[in-house]
Structure 1
């Protein structure tokens, strides 16, 4: 039975697995955009040509969440987004329009600030909680006072001050005692109920009499409390007993208070007495005693960086990491997700922050195996009934068969039966491991590659000189990242480094050859290693026989650099660390000791990623402002764009290994939208003019600069960032309506306020400098003041207008390259029209889909009537953004027509010849006679400023085609024109660019049967 079922489900899944998405459209769901709103958008998305809706997380999140990454309950939908019926209606509408549904999954962490029942239980019961193992908590941390406790750094001041101000209050409701701190409700340890209720009990005895039934019930409750297992008890039977009996106690106490006014008054009096009186410090002793016996230790929020003992998402205290490597935790976190997958409501998953997981490789395999088993279970129950007792044995056999085929064979197609993409940031030459059972990443690598094509490499030297002269110094990016990673480890993530250092010290004590390494020297070695580490993380585990060669290379390179940088440090310390990370264990170690070393290596891997992200993306990217269009997630600002050869190489690699990876250009996390970056890249085409402009603007605005004791405000670096921000995000068009321009003013001011704090140079989130923040805000306001700064505003407007058209061409060009490249085209909400957004929350503003749907309908009507006339109008009115919507729709529909080609077609890089051969990019996609060819110009500013425009500039420039293309006929997907390749002067087959660019600024051809 099991083997037959395995074969049937295998065949079914492999058949559907080939239909990976062709395109996705990302929607951010929250209380302002619910399931019902998403459902209303589906017909528009279907008409646009989108194949899959791609939704942000929508399990129950912290109330008011605008992103959903702070899930508090894996078992329920987010009520702010909609009901189960609303969700079902959305899924049904997607099916009716033949759209798939990719949903964002957050397996690394949960929101813990409010309404998380699992975390609440941990706070109430400590190590004895049913869910103690769910969270990554160090119950025996370095600080002895935190043993068997969780540090909660939620207080606005030092604990004693907060306590004696009366801000911490004991509260009682429904049979349970709580500690209230503003909107935080924290459980009192159940055994401490007795401390509250036993004080002053004599008065109640005198009032009721010793034999009164209600007094007897209260005394019985106190006895039950005394017999509760300790909160440090971890024996399973005792844990279950404690969990059961504490709830019985609460119910009994609630019923007693409800039925007895005397007991209710007694409890209220005790609560009031415990809460103390501000101005009388001794009156808070009882509350202090109660808190000292809880499973958490309240602390000032500034303590978090050094002493917090639960793993977080980066340095966010309100997001606690979960141990999804534990099968029970995995099941709890994914139960609803697999319900939706089994029902067909969800067809694919986007996995958030896999680098935070203990063992990502094993996690992805478990996802795919569980998907297989869930589909098999559904089929088994359909054939035999849900109550058939044979399922347990069948499931065991199915799991065995799956492991034999897919678990052991990295090439097995069953490893990718479920469509999965991962939010993996790839720095430098970093690649995702080939053994991962996923289809690819969410596309940041592509975003940086395609944008880098439009960066003129010859401008690197003059733009670098301009930046250095403006600052009066010459920052080195590599050194900056190294320093900022160290800074993060000293501050926001000091506790994580302390934990690793003490663990490494304990391991060193296992061997007489390493026991003399001091704790401080080991900590320094760790900090140096992590600061120098060139990528986000490695993926060493204990179940694969060989380490990934790239992981070995990263570790050995870093160790070598660390030794060279620390000549006076005992090199054997770095050798010791290297041996642990590379699983080179001394022969005399037993299995337990080897397991501890492996665990350390895998825990270290969970730290390198967050340190890199905080030091690089969230700090250095806000400081190194040479050309901020390069400062994107996954970007490499130290490299000035990329070559066409590198772009083709990455496309070829994706076609060969990850053909269903996402292709993105804007996301909810990008620092600047695709269109802002496209415009800023034009600065590389006129570096000398840019130098003159920023110098002139600085002179005009010098009177707005405030001189503080700490220096000028804004600093020259922050001022340089502001000018790029203004130029890049200034609304499209010659004349911007006053209301829109006022909104732009506020957006820029808000952006600068955030950017300054992220940079952590003169101000920060944890140590804000109000004087500096205020001075910069005033500077921005003065720059936008038409009365004070009319000359400045006019000059910026004119310069923006000069580069705007070239920026639009860049944006449309990178869109065509995205549409034709190997992978799954992703569109972030609203970006089908011009989107000049900055970092969140600016990029999460509402999107008007009614306008977009009407525009698309009108464009289709115009195209049906006269496609070439439509293209002419779109080119002459590019400011309105209709050209971008048109190109996207036609490109997505092409993907629908040529689904097999775009899912599995070959990639062919095409060379160009002629005077502007370096100012264009071209490639073709091929499959079984079908051909799609894309070609886009770049570095177009000079061409657009000359008479004749692109067509004149590209005269004599050709795409060199394979000989086989000589007899083909193509149709221009955008203009509708028939195109036939020609014979060039040397006899080869070529495609002249000038005639095609005379009708439209980009080229997308489909082989025609005509």
Structure 2
């Protein structure tokens, strides 16, 4: 499709990381071996934005990031270094938290259906004025005031339609093309589609050619000028017609590398009709991390969860959470779909729609592609609600008969919202038996990935999507790759971990079982961690789980219990000492898993992305924790030492991970011919199951250690060897010769638990 970069390095831009800072870092990233800088959104966002996904003006670059001059300077610097520039774009929605910052939204509020931009947003105009959920309560209209030809509610400012001033603020309000309502009415009554359940993000109708052109003109100008070489498409499942959008974008940017933030189920394929280079790599994350999980530990882990009162029936929990998302958070969307069934009474249409949305086994179907997923949803919904089976079947018939109809489009895009809010953001915080699995794109019911499945998936990736992105950590992952690597060790010592959790819970219990088990895993995975980070994470986890407290209806007493628990645990020196004793069992094996994950991802098929800072150990949790500033000065100095010939120990600092990252990224960039075909390799000997290895193009072999605790318990590698193709081989990580055609893994992996062999 396009000239893909050899790799990418993800940078989270914001007030503390501008174009100028990235320009200054470009030389380090080039020395590291990164093929391209991969930036979070750079268009003008809503005032005060810290992440850029709330774009308020698509026609200009962000002033907070340095404006147009600094953007150009960064693009020029990257071109001088021979690096690409990949930019994250957000076609699904725009930020409307401050209407005055979004000229399109302001004009819509001012002129209503007569606005030039009325069709730019997905608004149900047939239901009257645009409902804006800004009031503390429906009786708060008394707090409205008119100032300077604007309607004001505390810090919120809105335009007045021409000729509608005069009289009381209530009178003025009643004349507008919008109506203020309590924020509590948003979920069930809003007349504009949102990004999930975020009121401040209004959906944009980029399926309209005029809207597409207006929303993409500035970014496409950069692509045409050669200043941007790739685009990452945020949340394609929210679009009305993703396939048509991709085809239009490809036509507008024929040479750009295009990857989509599409989350695939384990057996799901990216629609082949999309002219893109691949996804952003969550499926690869599941496969790489999963191969380091010991399937033998599942029974013990599950028994502990059941004993602790944590649900272990994944299907039931996920289905219930999806149903709740449809009936509560996304009720307005369900009702909008139900109104497209005028011949069905609302009391039947709404529950039928909600049940169908909750039944999808994937985020969405793309009719006529993906018809099997639709059928699976129809069958499952009808089985659960047989009294609604006729209505559910009717919806399916209409969707198939008219795949371009509004009904079909809204069911498909809303099923993705239900899946995301129900599974990622709710079930993932309830199904806490083994947190290492609970990741975006994960399969909570599959206890890891066996080596055969890993090789099958990676071979298929090389054959079908060789330029797709792969990743281990992103700005959206629930925990970083190194946290998951450490937690994976617990699958090898389920008995020790269960005993420790029983001791800790008896001493310092949290009053909600799922949060209690998650909290202890979080302490193990992210240690050392301070009270602010741990408290912030657990507060978010509790509200996302929606069991004892929520964002909408918080329980102050329970929230305070969680805060007090954090302080009590961290101040309990005896408990902390016990925690650190368990950590002694998992720390070094966790480092082994981290290096193994990194090598498999960086050397494997696809375009590997390195999330900012993860070239050293990084024990971050979900955002905003994973957006903390990165100490690049320390990384520069360590890289300089590595380039002087230093081979660091495997220790707390993580220099060995930087070594593996730099050596592999540089090979990808400087010797791309090595990274062609993919072939699984098998070790031979008593410990063969503890090695995972593959060859690329006949001239490169990557090998990593898996299940290191079991390997040590069995006495090490013993006589286990890795037969190599003919030739002389050198480990690019250590610089040492392999020594023979079938080197002993005890020798090959004597310095580090990974090796990257290159034929001389």
TM range, normalised to the smaller chain? over 0.9
How much does 1:991 deviate? Answer: 4.2
Contact 2:144 2:170 in 1 (8 A): no
1:969 aligns with 2:725: no
How much does 1:315 deviate? Answer: 0.5
In structure 2, the residue matched to 1:95 is 79
How much does 1:980 deviate? Answer: 4.8
In structure 2, the residue matched to 1:519 is 346
CA separation in 1, counterparts of 2:245 and 2:581? 53
In structure 1, the residue matched to 2:246 is 364
In structure 2, the residue matched to 1:725 is 522
1:577-656 to structure 2, matched below 5 A, reads 577-583=395-401, 598-656=405-463
Q: Alignment partner for residue 1005 of structure 1, among 747, 757, 760?
A: 757
How much does 1:900 deviate? Answer: 3.0
Q: What does the per-residue CA deviation read over 1:579-624, in whole Å, with 9 as the maximum and x for residues that have no partner?
A: 11222xxxxxxxxxx58x7221012111000110000000000111
CA separation in 1, counterparts of 2:33 and 2:378? 50
Q: What does the per-residue CA deviation read over 1:222-260, in whole Å, with 9 as the maximum and x for residues that have no partner?
A: xxxxxxxxxxxxxxxxxxxxxxxxxxxxxxxxxxxxxxx
1:657-668 to structure 2, matched below 5 A, reads 657-668=464-475
CA separation in 2, counterparts of 1:558 and 1:85? 50
Contact 2:311 2:317 in 1 (8 A): no
Q: Alignment partner for residue 908 of structure 1, among 657, 679, 686?
A: 679
* Consecutive unaligned residues in structure 2, runs of 5 or more: none
Q: What does the per-residue CA deviation read over 1:191-211, in whole Å, with 9 as the maximum and x for residues that have no partner?
A: 213xx2xxxxxxxxxxxxxxx
CA separation in 2, counterparts of 1:653 and 1:968? 27
Q: What does the per-residue CA deviation read over 1:381-401, in whole Å, with 9 as the maximum and x for residues that have no partner?
A: xxxxxxxxxxxxxxxxxxxxx
How many residues were matched structurally? 758
1:443 aligns with 2:281: yes
Q: Which of the pair is proportionally richer in helix?
A: 1
CA separation in 2, counterparts of 1:806 and 1:533? 38
CA separation in 2, counterparts of 1:305 and 1:859? 54
Contact 1:806 1:944 in 2 (8 A): no
Q: What does the per-residue CA deviation read over 1:783-814, in whole Å, with 9 as the maximum and x for residues that have no partner?
A: 011xxx21101000121122100000000001
- SS in structure 2 opposite 1:26? strand
In structure 2, the residue matched to 1:136 is 122
How much does 1:474 deviate? Answer: 4.4
Question: How does the TM-score come out when normalised to structure 2?
Answer: 0.98
CA separation in 2, counterparts of 1:729 and 1:638? 23
CA separation in 1, counterparts of 2:573 and 2:632? 36
How much does 1:960 deviate? Answer: 4.4
In structure 2, the residue matched to 1:814 is 597
In structure 2, the residue matched to 1:9 is none
Q: What does the per-residue CA deviation read over 1:453-489, in whole Å, with 9 as the maximum and x for residues that have no partner?
A: 0110011111100111022x64411111111111111
Q: Alignment partner for residue 874 of structure 1, among 649, 654, 660?
A: 649
Check 1:598–1:981 CA distance in 2 against 1; reply closer, same or farther (3 A cut): farther
CA separation in 1, counterparts of 2:88 and 2:386? 47
Q: RMSD over aligned Cα, in angstroms? A: 1.5
Contact 1:714 1:779 in 2 (8 A): no
1:951-970 to structure 2, matched below 5 A, reads 953-961=716-724, 965=725, 967-970=726-729
CA separation in 1, counterparts of 2:690 and 2:366? 40
Q: Alignment partner for residue 993 of structure 1, among 742, 745, 749?
A: 745
1:927-946 to structure 2, matched below 5 A, reads 930-944=698-712
In structure 1, the residue matched to 2:612 is 829
Contact 2:23 2:73 in 1 (8 A): yes
How much does 1:37 deviate? Answer: 0.5
In structure 2, the residue matched to 1:433 is 271
CA separation in 2, counterparts of 1:977 and 1:368? 45
- SS in structure 1 opposite 2:59? strand
In structure 1, the residue matched to 2:688 is 917
**Could you say which structure has the larger radius of gyration?**
1
- SS in structure 2 opposite 1:799? helix
Contact 1:968 1:981 in 2 (8 A): no
In structure 2, the residue matched to 1:207 is none
1:187 aligns with 2:159: yes
1:886 aligns with 2:662: no
- SS in structure 2 opposite 1:912? coil
CA separation in 2, counterparts of 1:959 and 1:361? 44
1:509-548 to structure 2, matched below 5 A, reads 509=343, 517-540=344-367, 547-548=368-369
- SS in structure 1 opposite 2:329? coil
In structure 2, the residue matched to 1:61 is 45
Contact 2:429 2:514 in 1 (8 A): no
Question: How does the TM-score come out when normalised to structure 1?
Answer: 0.74
Q: What does the per-residue CA deviation read over 1:882-937, in whole Å, with 9 as the maximum and x for residues that have no partner?
A: 111111000111112321332xx1110112322212111111001xxx51101111
- SS in structure 1 opposite 2:5? coil
1:482 aligns with 2:325: no
- SS in structure 1 opposite 2:179? strand
1:170 aligns with 2:133: no
Contact 1:968 1:980 in 2 (8 A): no
In structure 1, the residue matched to 2:196 is 314
CA separation in 1, counterparts of 2:365 and 2:371? 9
CA separation in 2, counterparts of 1:874 and 1:561? 53
Q: What does the per-residue CA deviation read over 1:31-60, in whole Å, with 9 as the maximum and x for residues that have no partner?
A: 111111111000000000001000000100
In structure 2, the residue matched to 1:403 is none
- SS in structure 2 opposite 1:879? coil
In structure 1, the residue matched to 2:109 is 123
Q: What does the per-residue CA deviation read over 1:839-885, in whole Å, with 9 as the maximum and x for residues that have no partner?
A: 00000001111111111111111x1xxxxxx33x423xx21111111
In structure 1, the residue matched to 2:134 is 154
CA separation in 2, counterparts of 1:289 and 1:325? 37
How much does 1:344 deviate? Answer: 1.1
CA separation in 1, counterparts of 2:524 and 2:643? 33
Contact 1:968 1:1007 in 2 (8 A): yes
CA separation in 2, counterparts of 1:424 and 1:520? 34
Contact 1:428 1:535 in 2 (8 A): no
- SS in structure 1 opposite 2:60? strand
- SS in structure 2 opposite 1:632? coil
In structure 2, the residue matched to 1:860 is 643
1:576 aligns with 2:394: yes
Instruction: Point out the more displaced range, 831-840 or 936-945.
Output: 936-945
How much does 1:780 deviate? Answer: 1.1
1:554 aligns with 2:530: no
Contact 2:305 2:312 in 1 (8 A): no
In structure 2, the residue matched to 1:455 is 293
How much does 1:428 deviate? Answer: 3.2
Q: Alignment partner for residue 327 of structure 1, among 197, 205, 209?
A: 209
Q: Alignment partner for residue 630 of structure 2, among 847, 851, 855?
A: 847
CA separation in 2, counterparts of 1:474 and 1:658? 37
1:715 aligns with 2:512: yes
CA separation in 2, counterparts of 1:448 and 1:663? 10
CA separation in 2, counterparts of 1:60 and 1:727? 40
1:24-39 to structure 2, matched below 5 A, reads 24-39=8-23
Q: What does the per-residue CA deviation read over 1:483-521, in whole Å, with 9 as the maximum and x for residues that have no partner?
A: 1111111211100000101112x2xx3xxxxxxx42222
CA separation in 2, counterparts of 1:122 and 1:488? 29
Q: What does the per-residue CA deviation read over 1:504-558, in whole Å, with 9 as the maximum and x for residues that have no partner?
A: 2x2xx3xxxxxxx422222222111111110000112xxxxxx22xx11111122
CA separation in 2, counterparts of 1:343 and 1:311? 34
Contact 2:266 2:283 in 1 (8 A): no
Q: What does the per-residue CA deviation read over 1:352-394, in whole Å, with 9 as the maximum and x for residues that have no partner?
A: 000111111111111111224xxxxxxxxxxxxxxxxxxxxxx
